[in-house]
Amino acid sequence: METLGKNICQRCRKSIHRLADFGSYLDGTINTEYCHNCYSHGVLVNNEIMLVSKIDNSMATP
């Protein structure tokens, strides 16, 4: 558990090298499963880009 060499965020697959880059639980405990971009204060952060483009089947113009 002391090995802090290679940690990869289970969500975005980004390698985490520093303690500050880890996610944190609500009580401040470090969550080594995720990075701070994905998991913060006990909740998974939804940082995915919302694609609002409508998918139409109008690509084939007659």
Contact footprint for Zn ion (CB under 5 A): 9, 11-12, 35, 37-38
CB of 14 to Zn ion, least distance (A): 5
Provide the CB-side half-sphere exposure for 37 (13 A, CA).
11
- Residue 11 or 24 having the CB closest to Zn ion: 11
DSSP state of 20: G
Q: Which residues pair with 44 in a beta bridge?
A: 39
CB of 33 to Zn ion, least distance (A): 9
Q: Which of 34, 43, 41 is nearest to 11 (CA)?
A: 34
CB of 35 to Zn ion, least distance (A): 4
